Amino acid sequence: MKTFIFPGYVSIWVAYAATLLAVCLGWNRLSRFLSVAGVALNGCVLAVITVVSGVAPVFEIFSGILFVTFFLGLLGVFLAAPERGGLGVGIWVWIEMVVLLVVTLFFPKEPPSYRLHHADWSVVMFHGFRCLALASACFAAAHFFVFRSRRGERKTLRPVFNQGRNFLLLSALFFLCAEYAGILWCQNGWGDFWHWSTAFFQSTIILLLLMAAFHPPGKPPMSNDIQALLGMMIPMVMLTVTIVKALS
């Protein structure tokens, strides 16, 4: 069963890259078919990783990013309608998917080894909610990319901006759930819910950026621009933290 992981991963690559190409060319039916196939394959690979490793596919960067692309792909399939002409939300979602997959190229494509703590539910929740937060933040960023890139259509793009804000708030919600699971993990494993360490400081920076995104100064359009800019920046910071953690 383990042998299925790498071919499955390559198939996911092909399906998502082809989806992006089809979306760019405006072949909506084909892009729909490819995206659904890609998400289904993604789900299958995650299931295999879970069966082979015996743990949830959220710990190592490879399986974690595949979990993010699965959730982001679902959002892309069901909530990002293809647009005729221009850079729509759909295109940005599939660009993000490919960028996420590019990150996995630099890491081992293996199921996570069974490690300390991986059986504890608070640890699983911590990593799982972090993945969901990243996927939601990426989806929000896709909306903000559209909002920022089409400056002349601000009024008609109001619903797009609002949807971006909704998913950014959902990302904050998932991130806070991860933090709460992390608090319980730390309390049970180290006897306190706060630790003076790099990991805690990184989490706090992400929380502060999320707070800043929901407290933009000034009035529209400036405040909207700031919120969109921060909304685009946050998934990049989250991804950077994930990569740094995987490299250390």
Nearer to other proteins among residue 84 and residue 219 (C-beta): 219
Q: Measured between alpha carbons, how far is 109 from 119 in angstroms, rounded to an integer?
A: 21
Residue 97, classified by CB atoms within 10 Å of its CB into exposed (0-12), middle (13-18) or buried (19+), is buried
In angstroms, what is the minimal distance from the CB of 3 to other proteins?
A: 25
Nearer to other proteins among residue 105 and residue 192 (C-beta): 192
In angstroms, what is the minimal distance from the CB of 193 to other proteins?
A: 7
Nearer to other proteins among residue 99 and residue 208 (C-beta): 208
Q: Measured between alpha carbons, how far is 170 from 185 in angstroms, rounded to an integer?
A: 23
Contacts of 237 (CB under 8 A, 6+ apart): 205, 206, 209
Contact by Cβ (8 Å): 114, 54:
yes
Residue 215 vs residues 129, 208, 210, 212, 245: alpha-carbon distances, Å: 23, 10, 9, 5, 29
Q: Measured between alpha carbons, how far is 36 from 66 in angstroms, rounded to an integer?
A: 15
Q: Measured between alpha carbons, how far is 231 from 190 in angstroms, rounded to an integer?
A: 33
DSSP strands (E only) in 9-84: none
Residue 43 vs residues 67, 106, 117, 119, 133: alpha-carbon distances, Å: 8, 21, 24, 21, 18
In angstroms, what is the minimal distance from the CB of 154 to other proteins?
A: 13
Nearer to other proteins among residue 52 and residue 212 (C-beta): 212
Nearer to other proteins among residue 98 and residue 209 (C-beta): 209
Nearer to other proteins among residue 23 and residue 55 (C-beta): 55
In angstroms, what is the minimal distance from the CB of 95 to other proteins?
A: 24
Binding site for other proteins (CB under 8 A): 114-120, 158-159, 161-163, 165-166, 169-170, 172-173, 176-177, 179-180, 183-184, 187-198, 201-202, 204-205, 208-209, 211-212, 214-220, 223-224
